[in-house]
């Protein structure tokens, strides 16, 4: 069976891609959410689930409309997006430097990697009391927590990308006189880029996840605050709207990063970049 699938994939005809194919592919991703929303509405309307526990989508539209009219939703989105952007930027930048050091130096790997692997296992909420003691209740602990969440996926993937560079490529670089930074720039970085983008996308996803924990730290604005406010006031509609907005923002930011990945890695000849 597996051999038949591989044979079919390898010998798929390379016909031109229709102009509407990308749009159709995107529309296919709406089918499952649309079915789930319809099922959700039907289940609540049938009385199988209490509306105060799981408000139907039609009632969520009213909640979103109220948030839009008051402008509160834009404030929460703006504050949370800024926190994620700054925290992710700091975490990713630090991860690039440390990941390059650990990936290129076995001594640095022996000294640093065990510690990072231990710290990586600490749950996000476990950092909250310590960050409050160290940094107070302003923006610093929130951004620091998000940076911690973004750091480790980028660090792990970038380190693995560097360490898994084909030795033959490095030898070819030496033959052409590449050493030091020139070798890193011409050989290691291009070869590690696919792993790096995987780490960046994972780190960005974790940044949004850590945002909720970060905004439990005395926040008065943001989507995490909106979640907590909905819980304290018993409004499931606010909680669900905040979750949906977080999901949409996470998907949008991941799509932007994925688009950048495709643009910068056009040179790859992989199964996923083949002509259908």
pLDDT band for position 32 (cuts 50, 70, 90) = confident
75-86 tens-digit pLDDT: 999 999 999 999
Cα–Cα distance between 130 and 251 in angstroms, integer?
31
Query: In terms of C-beta distances under 8 Å and separation of at least 24 residues, what long-range contacts does 258-266 make, across chains too?
Result: 258/201, 260/197, 261/197, 261/201, 264/193, 264/197, 265/193, 265/194, 265/197
Does the pLDDT value for residue 5 go beyond 50?
Answer: no
Nearest-CA neighbor of 97 among 148, 149, 155? 155
Residue tagged 């952007």 (tokens): 85
Question: What integer pLDDT is reported at residue 265 of this predicted model?
Answer: 83
Q: Average pLDDT, stretch 270-276?
A: 56
Does the pLDDT value for residue 13 go beyond 80?
Answer: no
Share of the chain above pLDDT 90, in %: 36
Cα–Cα distance between 155 and 120 in angstroms, integer?
11
Helix (H) / strand (E) containing 180 = helix 180-183
Distances in Å between the Cα of 157 and the Cα atoms of 18, 68, 145, 178 are 35, 39, 20, 24
Residue tagged 């943001």 (tokens): 222
211-264 tens-digit pLDDT: 988 887 777 888 988 888 888 888 888 999 999 999 999 999 999 999 998 888
Question: What integer pLDDT is reported at residue 206 of this predicted model?
Answer: 93
pTM, full prediction? 0.83
Highest mean pLDDT out of 34-38, 155-159, 178-182: 155-159
Q: Average pLDDT, stretch 151-162?
A: 94
Are residues 211 and 222 in contact, defined by beta-carbon separation less than 8 angstroms? yes
**What does the block give as tokens for 120?**
């990586």
Cα–Cα distance between 99 and 92 in angstroms, integer?
10
Distances in Å between the Cα of 125 and the Cα atoms of 102, 149, 231 are 27, 11, 18
Does the pLDDT value for residue 157 go beyond 90?
Answer: yes
Cα–Cα distance between 246 and 252 in angstroms, integer?
10
Cα–Cα distance between 53 and 44 in angstroms, integer?
10
Question: What integer pLDDT is reported at residue 167 of this predicted model?
Answer: 84
Question: What integer pLDDT is reported at residue 275 of this predicted model?
Answer: 46
Does the pLDDT value for residue 198 go beyond 90?
Answer: yes
Cα–Cα distance between 112 and 98 in angstroms, integer?
9
> What Rg do the C-alpha atoms of the chain give, in angstroms?
23
41-61 tens-digit pLDDT: 788 888 888 878 888 888 888
pLDDT band for position 9 (cuts 50, 70, 90) = very low
**With b meaning 16 or more CB within 10 Å and e meaning fewer, what string describes 60-83?**
beebeeebeeeeebeebbebbbeb
Q: Average pLDDT, stretch 168-197?
A: 83
**Residues 6 or more apart whose Cβ sits within 8 Å of residue 265:** 193, 194, 197
Does the pLDDT value for residue 65 go beyond 70?
Answer: yes
pLDDT band for position 26 (cuts 50, 70, 90) = low
Share of the chain above pLDDT 70, in %: 88
Are residues 148 and 214 in contact, defined by beta-carbon separation less than 8 angstroms? no
Are residues 153 and 147 in contact, defined by beta-carbon separation less than 8 angstroms? no
96-154 tens-digit pLDDT: 999 999 998 899 999 999 999 999 998 888 888 888 889 888 889 999 999 999 999 99
Do you know the residue count of the chain? 276
Average pLDDT along the chain: 84
Question: What integer pLDDT is reported at residue 93 of this predicted model?
Answer: 96
Domains of the chain as residue ranges with CATH: 69-266 (1.10.3720.10)
Question: What integer pLDDT is reported at residue 189 of this predicted model?
Answer: 83
Helix (H) / strand (E) containing 253 = helix 236-264
């Amino acid at each position: 069976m597996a051999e038949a699938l591989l044979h079919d994939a390898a010998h798929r005809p390379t016909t031109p891609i229709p102009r509407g194919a990308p749009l159709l592919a995107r529309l296919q991703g709406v089918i499952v959410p649309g079915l789930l929303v319809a099922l959700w509405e039907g289940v609540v309307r049938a009385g199988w689930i209490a509306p105060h526990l799981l408000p139907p989508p039609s009632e969520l539209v009213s909640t979103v409309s109220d948030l839009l009219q008051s402008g509160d939703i834009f404030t929460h989105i703006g504050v949370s997006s800024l926190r994620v952007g700054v925290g992710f930027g700091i975490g990713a930048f630090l991860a690039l430097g440390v990941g390059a050091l650990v990936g290129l130096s076995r001594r640095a790997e022996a000294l640093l990697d065990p510690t990072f692997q231990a710290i990586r296992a600490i749950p996000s909420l476990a950092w909250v009391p310590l960050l409050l003691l160290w940094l107070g209740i302003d923006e610093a602990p929130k951004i620091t927590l998000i940076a911690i969440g973004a750091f480790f996926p980028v660090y792990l993937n970038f380190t693995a990308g560097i360490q898994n560079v084909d030795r033959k490529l490095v030898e070819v670089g030496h033959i052409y006189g590449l050493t030091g930074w020139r070798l890193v720039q011409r050989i290691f970085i291009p070869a590690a880029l696919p792993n790096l983008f995987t780490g960046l996308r994972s780190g960005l996803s974790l940044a949004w996840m850590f945002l909720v924990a970060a905004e439990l730290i005395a926040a008065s604005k943001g989507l995490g605050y909106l979640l907590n406010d909905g819980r304290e006031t018993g409004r499931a509609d606010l909680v669900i709207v905040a979750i949906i907005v977080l999901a949409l923002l996470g998907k949008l930011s991941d799509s932007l990063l994925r688009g950048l990945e495709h643009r910068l890695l056009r040179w790859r000849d992989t199964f996923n970049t083949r002509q259908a």
